[in-house]
Structure 1
Amino acid sequence: MRINVLQHTPNEGPGAIQSWSHDRHHEMYIYHPYQFGNLPTADETDMLIILGGPMSPNDDLPWIKQERVLIQQLLDHHKPIFGACFGGQQIAKTLGYQIGKAPHKEVGWAPVYRQTDAIPGIPEQVIALHWHEEMFAIPDQAQLLFSSDLVKNQGFLLGDNVIGLQFHFEPLADNVREMAVNDNTYPLDHNDLHQTPAEIIAHGVPAENKQVMYTLLDYIANH
């Protein structure tokens, strides 16, 4: 399977998604549309991964709109799609749903709670990394997948092949350090989780996060 990854900032890479791709013997191609403007075609995409970034789907940038054309083509062909943060918002925006400010800015570690049993093997509660202040509306045809204490719309499952998350399961320890030292002013401004970059790094990545990431990707890859 060819896994095409859309990465939107240098410090938010695929992390455990890349580990999953290696362990499942897939081929991964990483695109940087914000820098180079290149995107894969739908025909050469078996699974699309859309990562996070500091931009908004509401920004008037050509490559952001071009990503949504690709997402729509893959939706039309029932191909697996996974989006994290900006990526999840891009999926929702493609489906015609609003992206706006969340009721709380969440930056740091906080629990998310499973809202459906549709995907077997997901714990009822997982401590996830949050790094956002915008939020997607849940598509009418999708199931609410996760919520947090501060933001209800944390994840959705669309059919059996599309998952959008507002938060991050994919970062490994090196990725968390990379995010925190490079985007180190973002957690300090009106953050309702009240965590500093040093505290975010010191928390460490819960061991189960990588397994949950694998479970989600296995589910959409096999349907």
Structure 2
Amino acid sequence: MRAHYLQHVSFEGLGSIESWLVNAGYEISNTPLYSSAVFPDIESIDFLVVMGGPMSVNDEAEYPWLAQEKDFIKQAIDLGIPVLGICLGAQLIADTMGGKVFPNTVKEIGWFPITAVNSEASSTFQFPKEIDVFHWHGETFSLPEGAVQIAKSQGCENQAFQLGRNVIGLQFHLETTPVSAQALVTNCRDELVGGEYIQSEAEILAAVKESYTSINSLMTRVLEYLHEAR
């Protein structure tokens, strides 16, 4: 089995996803879009992960490879390949499938709770009723046709959605580790300007080990759910 991930910046890697993929028996490859927009044969992939990044899905003039990336994601979805989108990745899925991506009323950066939506719908992934997760986003999206909302927060209505059995988009970062949180702070600390849903660098990095264990365990559940959709 082969898992492929689309990486938009060097400092946003797979985080906890990598160890799960290795343990599940996947070979891992990636397209580092910040240096090369070379995509593999879509039929050689068994699992696609679309990572986050500071750019917008609407920035095709500045990042021409976005058009190619959207086409690649659409091919994967059409073929029934399990697809997981994280932050920008979720927005790319929404845009690709007909939704709109636009600035949220507030930025969400730091550790804030999400709540489950449609928790009684057995046909969708089941989030905990409420859980604190790690956020770093300023845009949001409308749900594409056929998508089901599965999580929300006070600061952003559409936090997670599912499309069919094999596609999940997450605005938040369940893959975050202490190392990847530090990398985001180091590279994007200019965004830590204060706000109702923006924590300080100290607050972000003060998260205890159990916070990371909690979100990484939930990411494992998401990955297992999508793996079973193959």
TM-score, with structure 1 as normaliser: 0.94
Aligned to 2:224: 218
Query: Does 2:51 match 1:51?
Result: yes
Structure 1 runs (4+) greater than 3 angstroms displaced? 117-122
Unmatched segments (≥5 aa) in structure 1: none
Whether the aligned pair in 2 keeps the contact of 1:107 and 1:192 (CA below 8 Å) is no
User: Once the 2 structures are TM-superposed, how far is the Cα of residue 162 of structure 1 from its aligned partner?
Assistant: 0.2
- Secondary structure of the equivalent of 1:43? helix
Does residue 20 of structure 1 match 2:26? no
Residue 101 of structure 1, CA deviation: 0.7
Q: CA RMSD in A?
A: 1.4
Q: CA offset at residue 123 of structure 1?
A: 1.7
1:22-44 Cα offsets, whole Å, 9 max, x none, are 12121111220121122222112
Segment of structure 1 superposing worse, 190-199 or 143-152: 190-199
For residues 169-207 of structure 1, the C-alpha deviation after alignment (integer angstroms, 9 at most, x for no partner) is 11111111111122111122x543231112101124342
- The one-letter amino acid paired with 1:147 is K
Preserved contact between residue 122 and residue 215 of structure 1 (Cα < 8 Å): no
Would you say the 8 A contact 2:4–2:48 is kept in 1? Answer: yes
Letter in 1 for 2:132: I
2:216 and 2:203 map into 1 onto residues whose CA distance is: 20
**1:16-74 deviations in Å (ceiling 9; x for gaps):** 11011012121111220121122222112111100000111001222111011111111
1:197 to 175, 178, 201: 201
Partner of 1:82: 84
**In the alignment, residue 200 of structure 2 is paired with which amino acid?**
T
1:208 equivalenced with 2:214 (yes/no): yes
What residue number does 2:35 align with? Answer: 35
Contact persistence 1:34–1:63 (CA under 8 A): no
CA contact (8 A) 2:177 2:212 kept: no
Retained in 1: the 8 A contact 2:99–2:145? Answer: no
Whether the 8 Å contact between 2:178 and 2:212 is mirrored in structure 1 is no
Question: Equivalent pairs: percent with the same residue?
Answer: 34
Distance 1:146 1:178 in 2: 26
Of residues 154-163 and 112-121 in structure 1, the stretch that sits farther from structure 2 once superposed is 112-121
User: Which of 58, 65, 68 lines up with 2:67 in the alignment?
Assistant: 65
Q: Is the 8 A contact 1:107 1:191 kept in 2?
A: no
Distance in 2 between residues matched to 1:108 and 1:185, nearest whole Å: 14
1:106-145 mapped onto 2 (5 Å cutoff): 106-117=108-119, 118=122, 119=124, 122-145=127-150
State whether residues 5 and 50 of structure 2, in contact with CA within 8 Å, keep that contact through their aligned partners in structure 1.
yes
How far off its partner does 1:88 sit? 0.3
Q: 1:199 corresponds to which letter in structure 2?
A: E
CA distance in 1, matches of 2:187, 2:204: 13
For structure 2, list consecutive stretches of 5 or more residues without a partner in the other structure: none
- Cα shift at 1:108: 0.7
Which residue is 2:105 aligned to? 103
